[in-house]
Amino acid sequence: MVTLGQKWATWLDNPKNTPLAFGVESEVWYYDGGRAFQQIASYTRDPKWNKYADQILSAYADYVITNNGGIPGYRVFSRGLLMGFQRTGNAKYQQALNALVYGSRSVTAAGVELRYYRQHGTATKAGGAALNPQWNPQFIRESAYITDAMVANEVLTGKRHPLLLVGVYDCVIPDLNAFMDPTNKYDPVNNPRGTYLGSGSPTTARNAGSFINNFMMGLSLETLIEYYEMTVSEGEPDPKIPPIIRQVLDFFWQNCVEQSTGAMYYNSNITNGGATDAGGKRVLYTTSNLNQLVAPAFAWYWKFSQDNTYLTRGDAMFSAGVLGAGTNSKASITDQDYSWSGKEFSLNYKWSFDYVRWRSGDNGSAVGASH
């Protein structure tokens, strides 16, 4: 953590790398590098890391504000902004977070980033035009990110966005259900809304043109956990969320993890997401360098339920993510290399701090408390 943090701190110190390029997603800002550096500062009790967090957050806030929230949905990173405002009181961070959920391309202006209002086909766009109520679970990542931004904004302001529950119950949860349901197959004539994205068997191909990457389920689980924790803090826990999280974790372990190694299958599709083994057979490949986007959900559910099944599974995934694992891995199976891009650094330290907190018996979240 410290070695890689210093690598990317040095990179940020180099004038050749500024301003940050918000079209280049291999850079350290992607996957909320500002959040990662703030968490390193808190964990090490060394505030020097906050300099680099603020360098990223300030530039990212400018990017969001300049576009009035109109950025691609896969670039919506709200938690670093929330943490930055809690730590510094910098109004620009609050302004950027507000722009993400109320700006020109946000959920209020035609639902561009939520992508659909499932069961809300009568909704209208700004100006009165009918909203296309298409349901496409392949935008599971975008739905998770913008819904979590609404949660973060409520944590900051105490005000609920009018579409928050639409995000949770009509977007994030249906996305996960579609991903797990092998009967909900896409048929352009008879079932144009049904897109089967489920992992199914790791040894058989599923819908060659229709799949998502398994780690995106982790992004959605993080959103549901942050939403649930917020309802707890507000004194009105949403009891429907923990059973859904358990259902997804059980499915994920059975279908998305190579259980002998703890490595995650990158996706469910051999044709588009596979590798070739020594015998020339197409097989799914594992990518344990993405494990930390999912493993913390197992630790959270263990904390919630005290069921050691989830602790054992979470430990397997966390360890594989740190050390490297996988029979058909595209990363090293003996040592995990996060050094080759800023994106790799940020995604591995985006949520893994909460794994350590929850695994250690701390009920708090690294992004839920003031810093």
Instruction: Assign 236 a pLDDT band (cuts: 50, 70, 90).
Output: very high
> Please, are residues 77 and 32 in contact by the beta-carbon 8 Å criterion?
yes
Helix-helix angle 308-323:241-255, to 10 degrees: 50
Q: For 5-48, what is each residue's pLDDT tens digit?
A: 999 999 999 999 989 999 999 999 999 999 999 999 999 999 99
Q: Which of 201-205, 305-309, 321-325 reaches the highest mean pLDDT?
A: 305-309
Gyration radius of the chain over CA positions: 20
Q: For 239-273, what is each residue's pLDDT tens digit?
A: 999 999 999 999 899 888 988 999 998 876 655 55
| Beta bridge partner(s), residue 286 | 265, 329
For Cα atoms 352, 357, 362, give the angle at the middle one, nearest 5 degrees: 160
Cβ neighbours around 155 below 10 Å, total: 20
Q: For 316-349, what is each residue's pLDDT tens digit?
A: 999 999 988 888 776 555 556 677 899 999 999 9
pLDDT of residue 369 exceeding 50: no
Residue 184: what pLDDT?
54
Q: Of residues 119 and 358, which shows the higher confidence score?
A: 358
Instruction: Assign 112 a pLDDT band (cuts: 50, 70, 90).
Output: very low
> What is the residue extent of each domain of the chain?
1-106
Rounded distance, CA 39 to CA 366, Å?
Answer: 7
User: What is the SS3 string spanning the chain?
Assistant: CHHHHHHHHHHHHCHHHCCCCCCCCCCCCCCCHHHHHHHHHHHHCCCHHHHHHHHHHHHHHHHHHHCCCCCCHHHCCCHHHHHHHHHHCCHHHHHHHHHHHHCCCCCCCCCCCCCCCCCCCCCECCCCCECCCCCCHHHHHHHHHHHHHHHHHHHHHCCCCCCHHHHHHHHHHHHHHHHHCCCCCCECCCECCCCCCCCCCCCCCCCCCCCCECHHHHHHHHHHHHHHHHHHHCCCCCCCHHHHHHHHHHHHHHHCEECCCCEEECECCHHHHEEECCCCCEEECECHHHHHHCHHHHHHHHHHHCCHHHHHHHHHHHHHHHHCCCCCECCCCCCCCCCCCHHHHHHHCCCHHHHHHHHCCCCCCCCCCCC
Percent of the chain scored above 90 by pLDDT?
A: 55
| Beta bridge partner(s), residue 99 | none
Q: Position of tokens 């352009």?
A: 188
> Please, are residues 173 and 156 in contact by the beta-carbon 8 Å criterion?
no
Residue 364: what pLDDT?
76
pTM: 0.87
Per-residue pLDDT, averaged over 59-66, amounts to: 97
Rounded distance, CA 68 to CA 101, Å?
Answer: 10
Rounded distance, CA 114 to CA 111, Å?
Answer: 5
Instruction: Assign 103 a pLDDT band (cuts: 50, 70, 90).
Output: confident
pLDDT of residue 100 exceeding 80: yes
Rounded distance, CA 263 to CA 248, Å?
Answer: 17
